[in-house]
Amino acid sequence: MEHFVCEQTELMERKPVYISVEGMDIGVVLIKNQIHAIENNCPHAEGPVCLGDISNRVRMRLDENKMSLGEYASEDEVNMVCPWHGLEFDIASGTCTADSRFKLHKFQTVVREGKIYVSV
């Protein structure tokens, strides 16, 4: 079933909008022209994951001897960080970057006539 979230013009990059649907809190966030709907419940300890930081994934450059050449922020990977314990989740896949057993519950979104809907 589809539920209205907001007008498309109200959704700002990396600024979640929250709705409650069927007893669930859902964060809807725009990342690089893609809309992601995520249950606001960390699979690790049920923290409010959508209230956490949204940032580019930090990676490390290594030389041929696997020695660090420094860190960089990946432009292609964006993570959501749970504010309770710091677990990071790839927003595109929902998978925890440290432990793939943990995965965010994501929902389909659709934009129709400038309005955003989430399917639950």
Residue 116, beta-bridge partner list: 6, 111
8 φ, ψ (degrees, to nearest 5): -60, -35
According to the model, what pLDDT value does residue 73 have?
82
pLDDT per residue, tens digit, the chain (120 aa), is 999 999 999 999 999 999 999 899 999 999 999 999 999 999 999 999 999 999 998 888 889 999 988 887 888 899 999 999 999 999 999 999 999 999 999 999 999 999 999 999
pTM above 0.85, yes or no: yes
Domains of the chain with bracketed CATH = 2-54+82-119 (2.102.10.10)
According to the model, what pLDDT value does residue 71 have?
83
